[in-house]
Amino acid sequence: MTCTQPLSQHIKADGSVTNLEEYQAGYGYQGLSKALSMDPNELVDYVKQANLRGRGGAGFNTGLKWSFVPPLEKLPGPRYVICNADEMEPGTFKDRWLMEHDPHQLIEGLAIAAYAIQAETAFIFLRADYDLCAQRLQQAIDDAVAAGLLGSSLNARGYNLEVLLHTSAGRYICGEETALINSLEGKRANPRFKPPFPQVSGLFGRPTVVNNVETLCNLPHILHHGIDWYANLGLGEDNGTKLYGVSGKVNNPGCWELPIGTPVKEILALAGGMQSGVGLRGFLPGGGSTDFLTAEHVDLAMDYGTIQAAGSRMGTGTMIILDDQTCPVGMVLNLIRFFAQESCGWCTPCRNGLPFIRQVLTDIEAGNGQVADLEQLLELCGYIGIGNTYCALAPGAAEPLQSALKYFRDDFSAHIEQGCCPYDKPTRHMQEAN
């Protein structure tokens, strides 16, 4: 029987970690063994054909990304693979779940990616707050080395691999791959201008591939079961499964592995539906830096193309729920505060624009806004949009704001007209009493 929930097959209900012996009992490291028997170029083409799309948010074809690395014979010398485990996107916790409970799955996937581009050094760039992940990943690395699954002469070609765990300084900007690379080099975590892209000139000026945790965890299963099996797991044009998460005022917030393309309403059903007394008004489908969708969109499939066509992005696939008792202005302000704080300050639109937006929203939420503020906010969203900044931090911050102004503009206007937040409970009680 083939596995239909590969990423979570080793996850234990008691929260304990899967050790090496348990992992190998479920075909663990057999995917790596198959990869090591292949020519690296053949492996790159194999993953490209599997249509594994990046699970960190961009959704780019993983094998195609690897193919941009110059062949070793054309550009000899070191090259690197980095696992982006910085996971600081608001509302996102899927990678932590994988690393805490099944670290060998990530290590095997990282080793497959490293062999594909002939990197002999691989890094796991881990969020500073993930202490339990760090402990369990390091133990898993040590156990894999002791078992001869990592290290020297892993195949007939004499391939060597060292995997290193790096605990980051802990900033949201480190989720951007070039800022991550700068941080790993010991520099300030600022994004780099592209081109050159990391696949040509990345860590220490050498070819580098950066992949997300969930992306890498798919690789052992693709290699073991095959491309057709992986394609059949998806419900639409995208292949495989996806870790979907839900947070907010639902009865059972959490994370589930489901076929990619599962409808929004089915994911919400797994979350137990809305809590008593509150209704669904909207949701951010892929974490805090995606555009709002509304209750009218619950029948949509959660896949890259469908969510994009609806005017948002699937992002990390972790929904943040907006209920009808929560102020959308306050919710967006909370996100803008986070993004303004986490700006690296490298470019003016982000460094100055986000604090300006934060102040305008603060005034509106406090009842001190002006009618002209709403058009000014939309104008500011354009200034910090795609093409005006070095990276996607500020454009991502604009997405919940611009979509909130689209779908919930009446709430912004009510703050201005009433001189207060209509969702403030004492104020609402006074109004009802009168």
3-state secondary structure 23-69: HHHCCCCHHHHHHHCCCHHHHHHHHHHHCCECCCCCCCEHHHHHHCC
List of long-range contacts for 149-158, beta carbons under 8 Å, 24+ apart: 149/29, 149/32, 149/108, 149/111, 150/107, 150/111, 154/36, 154/115, 155/36, 155/37
Q: What is the pLDDT of residue 170?
A: 78
Reported confidence tier of residue 335, pLDDT bands at 50, 70, 90? very high
Average pLDDT, the chain: 95
Reported pTM: 0.94
| Distance from C-alpha of 98 to C-alpha of 9, rounded to nearest angstrom | 11
Just give the CATH number of 6-233.
3.40.50.11540
Q: What is the pLDDT of residue 260?
A: 97
Q: What is the pLDDT of residue 1?
A: 45
From 1-15, 47-61, 113-127, 236-250, the region with the lowest mean pLDDT: 1-15
Q: Is the pLDDT of residue 428 over 60?
A: no
pLDDT for 133-192, tens place per residue?
999 999 999 999 999 999 999 999 999 999 999 999 878 999 999 999 999 999 999 999
Q: How deeply is 76 buried, as exposed, middle or buried, from its count of CB atoms within 10 A (0-12, 13-18, 19+)?
A: exposed
User: Could you tell me the two tokens for 160?
Assistant: 């060597």
Q: Is the pLDDT of residue 432 over 50?
A: no
* CA-closest candidate to residue 207, choices 35, 40, 394, 39: 40
Q: Is the pLDDT of residue 198 over 80?
A: yes
Just give the CATH number of 241-323.
3.10.20.600
Q: What is the pLDDT of residue 425?
A: 57
Q: What is the pLDDT of residue 426?
A: 53
DSSP class of residue 15?
Answer: -
pLDDT for 266-311, tens place per residue?
999 999 999 999 999 999 999 999 999 999 999 999 999 999 999 9
User: How many of the other CB atoms lie within 10 Å of CB of 200?
Assistant: 16
Reported confidence tier of residue 433, pLDDT bands at 50, 70, 90? very low
Q: What is the pLDDT of residue 166?
A: 97
Q: For the residues 374-386, what does the mean pLDDT come to? A: 95
Just give the CATH number of 328-433.
1.20.1440.230
Rg (C-alpha) for the chain, rounded Å, is 23
Which percentage of the chain shows pLDDT scores above 90? 93
DSSP code per residue over 225-257: H-HHHHHHH-SSSS-SEEEEEEESSBSS-EEEE
Where along the chain do its domains lie? 6-233, 241-323, 328-433
| Distance from C-alpha of 283 to C-alpha of 286, rounded to nearest angstrom | 9
Q: For the residues 310-328, what does the mean pLDDT come to? A: 96
Q: For the residues 227-242, what does the mean pLDDT come to? A: 96
Q: What is the pLDDT of residue 202?
A: 97
Reported confidence tier of residue 427, pLDDT bands at 50, 70, 90? very low
330 neighbors 305 (Cβ within 8 angstroms): no
Q: Is the pLDDT of residue 2 over 70?
A: no
Reported confidence tier of residue 251, pLDDT bands at 50, 70, 90? very high
User: How many of the other CB atoms lie within 10 Å of CB of 48?
Assistant: 17
Specify the amino acid at residue 156. A
